[in-house]
Amino acid sequence: MKHLLLILLLAPFLFAVDFSGIWVSSIKQPDGHTDREVFVLKQTGNQLTGKVERAWGTLNIQEGSVDGSHFVIGAKTDDGYAVGYDGTLAGDKLRVTMHEPNAKTFELVAARSTTDPFLVEHVIAPPSVRDLPPNRLAKTPPMGWNSWNLFAGKIDDKTVREMADALVSSGMRDAGYIYLNIDDTWEGDRDANGVIHSNNKFPDMKALADYVHSKGLKFGIYSSPGPYTCAGYEGSYAHEEQDARTYADWGVDYLKYDWCSARRLYPDSAMRAVYQKMADALRATNRSIVYSLCQYGRDNVWTWGDKAGGNLWRTTGDINDTYRRMMEIVDTQSAIAKYAGPGHWNDPDMLEIGNGGMTPDEYRTHMSLWAIFAAPLLAGNDVSGMTEDTKSILLNKEVIAVDQDPTGMQGHRADKTGDVEYYARPLDNGDMALVVVNRAEASMSIKIPWTEMHIPPGTKVRDLWKHEGFAAGDSQPFTVPAHGSLMFRMKAPH
Ligand code: GLA
């Protein structure tokens, strides 16, 4: 009797489930790649600690608890990306619901595993750092198109060919948008010799590159110095030279190299050396390949990006198709203007123009400021079906000419009065470009203080959105719509 009572009292402990251990969920995607979610858990009483790993990085468990066979976890990356998990142990499997920050939920099933598929035990030491000479590419900021902003994981061979055709027929190529860059999710498996192959969305990468070249365009591709890319596809870690040779064989002219899962292997202080490694590998192919660093502006990349062989480097986290995010990025660009120049550019991320999340006035502000910042102009929209508004923005040759100005000096915010901001950029031949932004939520009448800006009355001014000229000092106040802007080019008095 006494024993029975004891057993009843201890039952929850005797039969309690122990979640401790490694749990792996593997989901094969239609393109052939496998998405993995790995739970490394330690249970103490009803508390859960440990981490959740994704191909691109680690989420540390902030709070985790167990109630019988149910569990709840809150986990976060070190830069604040937070995911919630809850679920049940059913038989020998974990049935999990994931709650992403964008309110989307996903179901997955994880099984016990003796090994962690994301663990890299002996990390390859990066090379010692040296100053690489310029590769003489990207004398002006690269222009082109990139698949990520609109197509993301849905990009495939057919869409790339359609975009190549449309870059030509829309006049984008002739306006300077030369690089057609495939972003993440093209990667397939490595073969027995370690050679990377494209996945089933891209049956023949060399043939695709040939097609893109036949249209008078250049061909760009994407990888990561980590074992996996940000979308969880195969990265170039431990295969840098081999991948560079494969890219050169395919006819690649541009590589975007995205930090992603490298952060699990290396501290930020190793970034320069890690990026240099791929720069060396690209140069060893003897093909001219523009090298785009993508590590979100960490470790003051603008101070070393060119020495690591980069032609451009992202200065921020990702853009999205909102005015708010676009302007958040704008606000961080002026302070680093002096680091840009021919061959090595600050990259505030790709264009969202034409993707539908901003008004035409906001997109004009986007284009005007990217030109003031001498930013790479990589369109991110469907160029096969552009509205007249989108075309008039992306194809504004006078604004493009500011972006592509041969002196390559990046502009900055020169003044701010209430909601009105003035951005200035010195141009070739003593010319100057000026963008006036109305950040208010309502339209505004703005009188430009020409004299205070040392622009003498009578100076010839060209309105780059209206495509007409006038003389400084003569103009009436301008009505600038909410979030809209004006863009002028002033001729130097000769
Ligand atoms: C990161 C980059 C993006 C894009 C995605 C692809 O988020 O910053 O520009 O390349 O990865 O996964």
- Closest ligand 1 atom, residue 229 Cα: 12
Q: pLDDT at residue 2 above 90?
A: no
Among protein residues, the one with the nearest Cα to ligand 1's atom 11 is 230
Q: Whole-model pTM? A: 0.94
Identify the band that residue 473 occupies on the pLDDT scale cut at 50, 70 and 90: confident
Interior/surface letters 426-455, b for 16+ CB within 10 angstroms, e for the rest: ebeeebbbbbbbbbeeeebebebebeeeeb
Which residue out of 157, 258, 306, 321 is catalytically annotated? 258
Residue 228 CA, ligand 1 centroid: distance in Å: 12
Q: pLDDT at residue 5 above 80?
A: no
**Active site includes 253?**
no
424 sits in which H/E element: strand 420-426
- Closest ligand 1 atom, residue 317 Cα: 8
| Residue 10, CA atoms < 13 Å, CB-side half-sphere | 7
- Closest ligand 1 atom, residue 318 Cα: 8
Q: Are 350 and 148 spatial neighbours (Cβ–Cβ below 8 Å)?
A: yes
The pLDDT of residue 168: 98
Q: pLDDT at residue 9 above 60?
A: no
Average confidence (pLDDT) over 394-419: 98
Among protein residues, the one with the nearest Cα to ligand 1's atom 6 is 184
**Active site includes 318?**
yes
- Closest ligand 1 atom, residue 185 Cα: 12
Q: Are 484 and 364 spatial neighbours (Cβ–Cβ below 8 Å)?
A: yes
User: What are the structure tokens assigned to 227, written together?
Assistant: 């074992």
User: What are the structure tokens assigned to 300, written together?
Assistant: 């003051």
Q: How far apart are CA 434 and CA 8, in angstroms?
A: 80
Residue 285 CA, ligand 1 centroid: distance in Å: 25
- Which pLDDT tens digit goes with each residue over 432-452? 999 999 999 999 999 999 998
Q: Which residues lie across from 235 on neighbouring strands?
A: none
Residue 301 CA, ligand 1 centroid: distance in Å: 17
Among protein residues, the one with the nearest Cα to ligand 1's atom 5 is 230
Ligand 1 pocket mutation pick from 56, 184, 259 by most atoms within 8 angstroms of CB? 184
Average confidence (pLDDT) over 458-464: 95
Residue 317 CA, ligand 1 centroid: distance in Å: 9
The pLDDT of residue 474: 73
- Which pLDDT tens digit goes with each residue over 13-61? 545 689 999 999 999 999 988 999 999 999 999 999 999 999 999 999 9
Q: How far apart are CA 40 and CA 70, in angstroms?
A: 16
Q: How far apart are CA 289 and CA 21, in angstroms?
A: 45
Residue 311 CA, ligand 1 centroid: distance in Å: 18
User: What are the structure tokens assigned to 148, written together?
Assistant: 């990520």
The pLDDT of residue 15: 54
Q: Are 436 and 486 spatial neighbours (Cβ–Cβ below 8 Å)?
A: yes
Q: How far apart are CA 275 and CA 279, in angstroms?
A: 6
- Closest ligand 1 atom, residue 349 Cα: 9
326 sits in which H/E element: helix 323-330
Pairing of strands 82-90, 93-99: antiparallel
Residue 260 CA, ligand 1 centroid: distance in Å: 8
- Which pLDDT tens digit goes with each residue over 210-266? 999 999 999 999 999 999 999 999 999 999 999 999 999 999 999 999 999 999 999
Ligand 1 proximal residues by C-beta, below 6 Å: 148, 183-184, 229-231, 258, 294, 318
Q: What integer best gives the mean pLDDT of the chain?
A: 95
Which residue out of 318, 389, 419, 463 is catalytically annotated? 318
